[in-house]
Amino acid sequence: MGELQRLACLGVPDGGAGVRPVVWKLLLGYLPTDRGLWPYELEKKRSQYSAYKEEFLLNPSEKLRRIEESKLSRKKELNIERIGLLPRLEVTNEEHPLSSGKSSLWNQYFQESEILEQIDRDVKRTHPDISFFSAKSNQESLRRILIIFSKLNPSIRYVQGMNEVLAPLFYVFKNDPDPSSSASAEADTYFCFVELLSGFKDNYCKHLDNSSVGIRSTLSKLSQLLKRHDEELWRHMEVTTKVYPQYYAFRWITLLLTMEFSFNVCIHIWDAILGDPEGPPDTLMRICCAMLILVRKRLLAGDFTANIQLLQHYPATNIDHLLHIANRLRGTVAS
Amino acid sequence: MGSRSPGVSFKLVLLGDGRVGKTSLVLRYVNNIFSDKQEATVQASYLTKRLVVEGVPITLSIWDTAGQEKFHALGPIYYRDADAALLVYDITDSDTFVRVTKWVKELKQMASKDIVMAIAANKSDLVRLKNIETQEAVSYAESIGASLFVTSAKAGTGIDDVFSDIAKRLLEKRKNSADGLSPPQPKKGILIVDDEPEKEPPPKCCS
């Protein structure tokens, strides 16, 4: 595993065997290291995902219809001789669409519709320039994953931008040359997304914003890291020009750099983020710090406006060099 | 970049619910571009625009903020010392108008006392789907001393007007305070409608 991490940090090769999907699944701990366990583990996870789809994606009338159906079939078995009577769908008062009862399936359904609409809109706006993401079936997969995630994580639900974090995972797994893996890409992506976010989800929790684990403290960690490695640059940024990390690194961190570089470059950076033995959160922090150091000359010459605009539109850059700088900061992220 | 801009500079913040078109408005204003597939803003972006009002060169520093509720807590840093706020709602979605009224309450408590406010009734190209009566919005704007503009980032209408109105009022305010005069009375609400981009279609027979 250590060897795999070391190799992944150097970048997973794009061509040839198409190993990235398997590598990412291993690095995220979705696949166990013992290869003999893969078929069992995958089977278990994929059927669990099917169960989630059943549970969370049917609309209430479909759910009720299924409940009734099973009741009816039981009744049919009991009263097999009473043919001729039309079965009537029994809708209890509680389950009427216009009922305002709290436990009404419809009530929950309407409350959630706002989030569903938001997910829907954002999924449609995910990398509109890449044809893979315009395909209806792929958009449907992203949508289902985000809906299921939002239902299973009621404290976070859906935060705008999650679609961007989801996109690289789904893209890599769906393009797996192994057809059986590609066919199950949606389920695999769901669990890998959950794994990946486990290290980051406090950043998404509004009620943790001011806590020691929320986004603000993550941003100040970056500030401390910069101060430790390049105090001159830190002073120029935060004291002289008052360009605080909140202004530029909020998006770097919450979206795991997906919006700062082109999609392919981002996938290379993710090889390092997922592969680094220090774990994704600390690795991301070092890469962010390296991004600042890499453009330090321009930053030191810039004022507030110039610096914010530079960092909000980060210039195309040599990724190997960036990762090399990030590597040199190893072992220094404050906990 | 990097050089000090001449003339006066003001800080403006855009506020409003998610997907009402804040980013589209500001991108149309600053770069004259529009995309139907504008991605969601998760981090306030910073843009600048230079313009000349009554012979005075002005630089507007514009913070285009994120609309989703999750990002609300990070909002004060952007409006705390803003000179002006542009509040945006979507004419097809009445909830977004309610959100504007909430923002105004928050600004009154937290922002500078004499912040200049304007409201943009955006997406006027979708007038067929209109859900909020413009007159209602105008009365509201009047009640808070803001001006209201009907805009469409898509059609590119009303946008220069709203920003230059803000700039004019800011300049006026600065002149008055420089002259040591008492601040001007709050302006009456005004409605400025650019060319109607789309005529309201005659009611269809639908009985």
Across the interface, whether the CB atoms of A306 and B1 are under 8 A apart is answered yes
Mapping DSSP to helix (H, G, I), strand (E, B) and coil, where does residue B27 land? helix
Across the interface, whether the CB atoms of B66 and A160 are under 8 A apart is answered yes
Return the pLDDT at A325. 96
| pLDDT per residue as tens digits for the range A17-51 | 589 999 999 999 999 999 999 999 999 999 999 99
**Chain A residues within 8 A of B61 when measuring between CB atoms:** 305
Return the pLDDT at B141. 96
Q: Enter the tokens of residue B85.
A: 């706020």
DSSP 8-state secondary structure symbol assigned to residue B92: T
The minimal CB distance from B46 to the residues A122, A209, A312 is found for A312
Task: Flag whether residue B143 sits within 8 Å of chain A, measured between CB atoms.
Answer: no
Q: How far apart are the C-alpha atoms of B183 and A238, rounded to whole Å? A: 35
Residue B12: enclosing H or E segment and its boundaries? strand B8-16
Q: How far apart are the C-alpha atoms of B176 and B172, rounded to whole Å? A: 6
Nearest to B188 by CA among B135, B151, B138: B138
**Backbone CA torsion sign across A201, A150, A115, A108:** negative
Q: Are strands B191-193 and B8-16 parallel, antiparallel or unpaired?
A: unpaired
* Alpha helix stretches (DSSP H) within B119-200: 134-143, 159-178
Tally of CB atoms within 10 A around B168: 15
Nearest to A158 by CA among A199, A121, A192, A210: A121
Q: Which of B46, B72, B79, B90 to mutate to test the interface with A (most CBs of A within 10 A)?
A: B46
Nearest to B161 by CA among B83, B78, B53: B53
**Chain B residues within 8 A of A305 when measuring between CB atoms:** 1-2, 46, 48, 61
pLDDT above 80 for A166? yes
Across the interface, whether the CB atoms of B70 and A121 are under 8 A apart is answered no
Q: Do residues A283 and A276 touch, judged by C-beta distance below 8 A?
A: yes
| pLDDT per residue as tens digits for the range B10-39 | 999 999 998 899 999 999 999 999 998 888
Same topology, domains A1-65+106-199 and A206-329? Answer is no
The minimal CB distance from A159 to the residues B2, B44, B68 is found for B68
Higher pLDDT, A101 or A114: A114
All structural domains of chain A with their residue ranges: 1-65+106-199, 206-329
pLDDT above 60 for A89? no
Q: Do residues B134 and B191 touch, judged by C-beta distance below 8 A?
A: yes
Task: Flag whether residue B4 sits within 8 Å of chain A, measured between CB atoms.
Answer: yes
Q: Do residues B21 and B125 touch, judged by C-beta distance below 8 A?
A: no
Q: How far apart are the C-alpha atoms of B138 and A330, rounded to whole Å? A: 58
Domains of chain B: 8-176 (3.40.50.300)
Residue whose pair of structure tokens reads 């009022």 in the numeric block: B169
**Chain A residues within 8 A of B71 when measuring between CB atoms:** 160
Return the pLDDT at B206. 45
Nearest to B66 by CA among B11, B27, B18: B18
Q: What is the mean pLDDT of residues A150-162?
A: 90
Half-sphere exposure of residue A108, counting CA atoms within 13 Å on the CB side? 13
pLDDT above 80 for A132? yes
How many CB pairs lie under 8 A apart between chains A and B? 67
Return the pLDDT at A77. 61
Return the pLDDT at B5. 47
Task: Flag whether residue B112 sits within 8 Å of chain A, measured between CB atoms.
Answer: no
Quickly name the fold that domain A206-329 has. Answer: Cyclin A; domain 1 (1.10.472)
pLDDT above 80 for A93? no
| pLDDT per residue as tens digits for the range A180-215 | 999 999 999 999 999 999 988 777 777 777 777 688
Average pLDDT value for chain A: 87
| pLDDT per residue as tens digits for the range A226-257 | 999 999 999 999 999 999 999 999 999 999 99
Phi (first) and psi of residue B12, to 5 degrees: -125, 140
CATH 1.10.8.270 corresponds to the domain A1-65+106-199? yes
Nearest to B41 by CA among B4, B76, B66: B66
pLDDT above 80 for A313? yes
**Chain A residues within 8 A of B43 when measuring between CB atoms:** 247-248, 250-251, 254, 312
Across the interface, whether the CB atoms of A302 and B45 are under 8 A apart is answered no
pLDDT above 50 for A148? yes
- Cβ-defined contacts of A129-138 (< 8 Å, 24+): A130/A263, A132/A171, A132/A174, A132/A175, A133/A167, A133/A171, A138/A170, A138/A174
| pLDDT per residue as tens digits for the range A40-83 | 999 999 999 999 999 888 766 676 677 677 776 666 665 555 55
Return the pLDDT at B181. 54
Whole-Å CA distances, B197 to B32, B36, B127, B157, B201: 17, 17, 9, 8, 12
Mapping DSSP to helix (H, G, I), strand (E, B) and coil, where does residue A322 land? helix
| pLDDT per residue as tens digits for the range A280-302 | 999 999 999 999 999 999 999 99
Q: How far apart are the C-alpha atoms of B191 and A154, rounded to whole Å? A: 43
pLDDT above 90 for A152? yes
pTM exceeds 0.90, yes or no: no
Q: Do residues B198 and B161 touch, judged by C-beta distance below 8 A?
A: no
In this prediction, the residues of chain B whose per-residue pLDDT falls under 50 are: 1-5, 186, 197-200, 203-207
Residue of B nearest to A206 (CA): B70
Strand order in the sheet with B84-90: B45-53, B56-64, B8-16, B84-90, B116-122, B147-150, B191-193
